[in-house]
Structure 1
Amino acid sequence: MSSARKSVMPQNSSYQRDIQYVLKLNNWILCTIGLLPFTTRGIGRYAFKILIAFCNFIISFAMVPCALHILYDQKDITIRLKLFGLLTFCLTAMTKYGFLTIRRPKILYCIECVKSDWVQVTYKSDREQMLKYAAIGRNLTIIATSIMYTSAFIYYLILPFCSEHKINNQTVRPLVFPIYSKFRQSQNSPIYEIVYVAHCMCGYTIYSVTASACGLAALFVTHACGQIQVILSRLKDLVDGKNFKQSPNVHRRIAAIVKSHVRVIRFAAVVEEILQEVCLVELSSSLCIICLLEYYCIMNWQGNDRIGLVTYFVIFVSFCFNLYILCYIGELLMEKSSQIRYKCYMINWYQLSSESARNIILIIAMASHPIKISAGRIVDLSLMTFVNVLKTTLAYLSFLRTLVM
């Protein structure tokens, strides 16, 4: 953030309450996995580094023995497929966590931009429009987080204890992540309790990473949509200038609109830079994980395992909804940014001078390329992308059933 932006006096008297409303949930999730500092003063501002290292360690602590178990101990292809889905999800979450950690400075920059925009809200109508889109982002984050943590609670705290575990006619205490057979001490107290708690902490970390990626995307994109809505209201009022008390001249009004538009485009470019690798990993892993979850649901249905069916169905819904949110907000941003061009066509440009009318061409040219969020700059996030992913998973499911059965 520049010093000029920090020195601007607040114009929105309710900015502190608005900022807390918009950022509170995302801040809480990001702080618990070290992507935001708990405090900006004292030694606490360096604690996030320890937390990031701990989160990576706790994920590796669960993944490595599980991978060894799949390679050397487990011979049943069905159980291997179940464990492979779990391992893939952990590896995906660890990869996304790494990308988010690398992009952490840009995340902090975008959060400061969001705060600055709320501080500088001038008119009540602008605040209402921004709150409308902020509520959309907040609600999407709440729903996605609730579904993700509910599925994690069922999978980590209920499902392991709902079936009997035996090895060589000996009952063993269940763990979420299977342990390599060479680590025999894992069944003895208090090692078992420590390992189980570590697995639960791993589960919280990987689900929090998924929820935080979705929450950040919803927060930043809906904020950009709110800013675009403010620009649309300015374009509607360009000729009359009722909402331009500080810019009575039409040239200054056009300059203010162009400046706001450029700021939104630059903000969206940073947001895409933050999310492009995360979205690419999410999109590619969803092809595998959603397909496996569909397979698990079918197998539990055929095996009359109701608890397993409910568990995997809830996880399936959470993954589909998480992917849907990413595609929905990509579609929302693309559609909203396209409206700037259409609004320029609809204003009473014939009431403007020829020079002012020519200046509007600049806005039309800038808006001719809608703002998009892409997955690795390979695939644009849209509802059509979501549909194509689901179609592809069904094709993979048919192949998987034919191969296994």
Structure 2
Amino acid sequence: MSSTREPVMPQNLSYHRDIKYVLKLNNWILCTIGILPFTTRRIGRHVFKILIAFYNFIISFTIVPCALHIIYDQKDIIIRLKLFGLLAFCLTAMTKYCILTIRLPKILYCIEFVKSDWWQVTFRSDREQMLKYAAAGRKLTIIVTSFMYTSSVLYYQILPFFVEHIINNETVRPLVFPIYSKFRQFQISPVYEIVYVAHCMCEYTLCSVTVGTCGLAALFVTHACGQIEVILSRLEDLVNGKNFMQNPNIHRRIAAIVKSHVRVVKFAAVVEEVLQEVCLVELSSSLCTICLLEYYCIVDWQDDDRISLATYFLLFLSFCFNVYMLCYIGELLMEKSSQIGHICYMINWYQISPKFARSLILIIAMASHPIKISAGRIADLSLLTFVNILKTTLAYLSFLRTLVM
């Protein structure tokens, strides 16, 4: 790292541009489903409550007829399994939606925390390091969004029109979600068009909840990693003090590093509180969904149904990437936080007085317990967890094939 002194700014002069770059995508997704309130107008602060109630009604309006169709209408075991996966995804997305709604105060607290950190940026190098991790989180969110929305459009709005819909020897117009056959009025215009639009809104809500969950995780965790990177640069410069223009005293430099480290640890604790339930639901539901999608791909491969195979394979990639992203950022946070202790030892600590060098022992002790994000305090988000999930899905797939075939 360069030891040349950089110009100091009284605050981040690019704050508004930076914070817009960091939060824009997540704000757009989460505001449209009511998770984040609108702040542009006074009335907008209450619109999100109406949106939450409305979308929960739309999801319930979709799930109930679909469940009745699976129980009473559908007799084919393969189609039942396919619809069960759809219903399970709806229920888990609704669960995550409720959790995010309950955790809204903590989410807003974390967002304000992120804004505060960006406002307090002093050195240009700090801003560049934070932007690097913010860009990584933004790219992950874009990939998740692209996969999820593309696969959902194929599954919900294109695939139904390539499947023959016959109930009681009558051909019916396809809908995004199947409906109980007793509700014949759903095929009559304009009721059919209204129901179709409601199903499309439900589809958008379910996908946005999944994308929003992953986007929030990527935003908060990569921000914490960016802050840790700033701490590492401070530690590397502890002896020379080039980046401590306001703290020329070595004791004050160490105090500033400890303060920043404690701030990141507290932020990570709130982030885990926000994410632990939704991550648990996401991992457990993805375990079931990925297994079912693997089975659907095998069945469609045997039936030579290319459109359905392509759709389910894209969904498979989407859910796999969602789980991988959560596990990857958890692994990244553990790796970055554990580097603090390593850097403390690798700097020229022997050039400072023993009195101040002893202060580094506490930092090393804290860094020996790296920051982790867990799924319901049951499993840590790491690449090992991702591998274990894939292994478990293959084991369940083998059992499912034996049971059904």
Same fold (TM over 0.5): yes
Aligned to 1:87: 87
Note the 1:1-400 alignment, pairs <5 A: 11-39=11-39, 41-400=41-400
State the Cα distance separating 1:164 from its structure 2 match: 2.1
The SS at the match of 1:177 is coil
1:296, 1:10 → 2: CA distance?
58
1:220, 1:349 → 2: CA distance?
32
2:229, 2:347 → 1: CA distance?
15
How much is the aligned-residue C-alpha RMSD, in angstroms? 1.0
Q: Which amino acid in structure 1 is aligned with residue 69 of structure 2? A: H
1:264, 1:159 → 2: CA distance?
46
1:364, 1:302 → 2: CA distance?
57
Deviations 1:15-63 (A, max 9, x none): 1100001000000001011011112642221110000011111111110
1:228, 1:20 → 2: CA distance?
22
1:39, 1:353 → 2: CA distance?
52
Q: Which amino acid in structure 1 is aligned with residue 209 of structure 2? A: V
Deviates more, 1:164-173 or 1:144-153: 164-173
State the Cα distance separating 1:76 from its structure 2 match: 1.3
1:221, 1:201 → 2: CA distance?
30
1:393, 1:224 → 2: CA distance?
31
State the Cα distance separating 1:159 from its structure 2 match: 0.6
2:267, 2:21 → 1: CA distance?
21
State the Cα distance separating 1:209 from its structure 2 match: 0.2
Check conservation: 2:10, 2:122, Cα contact below 8 A.
no
Which stretches of structure 1, 4 residues or longer, exceed 3 Å deviation after superposition? none
1:209, 1:299 → 2: CA distance?
29
Deviations 1:128-157 (A, max 9, x none): 100110000000000100110001111122
Deviations 1:235-294 (A, max 9, x none): 000011010000000000000000000000000000000000001011111111100000
Q: Which amino acid in structure 2 is aligned with residue 50 of structure 1? A: I
Aligned residue-pair number: 397
Check conservation: 2:152, 2:207, Cα contact below 8 A.
yes
Q: Which amino acid in structure 2 is aligned with residue 166 of structure 1? A: I
1:66, 1:168 → 2: CA distance?
17
Deviations 1:74-95 (A, max 9, x none): 1111111011000000000000
State the Cα distance separating 1:10 from its structure 2 match: 6.3
Q: Which amino acid in structure 2 is aligned with residue 133 of structure 1? A: Y
- TM-score normalised by L of structure 1: 0.97
2:251, 2:35 → 1: CA distance?
43
State the Cα distance separating 1:371 from its structure 2 match: 0.2
The SS at the match of 1:212 is helix
State the Cα distance separating 1:169 from its structure 2 match: 3.0
The SS at the match of 1:42 is coil
CA pair 282-303 structure 1, distance change in 2 beyond 3 A: same
Q: Which amino acid in structure 1 is aligned with residue 312 of structure 2? A: Y
Q: Percent identity?
A: 81
CA pair 41-169 structure 1, distance change in 2 beyond 3 A: closer
Q: Which amino acid in structure 1 is aligned with residue 130 of structure 2? A: M
1:10, 1:159 → 2: CA distance?
56
CA pair 10-40 structure 1, distance change in 2 beyond 3 A: farther
1:55, 1:262 → 2: CA distance?
39
Check conservation: 1:10, 1:119, Cα contact below 8 A.
no
2:13, 2:40 → 1: CA distance?
24
Q: Which amino acid in structure 1 is aligned with residue 319 of structure 2? A: F
2:287, 2:223 → 1: CA distance?
29
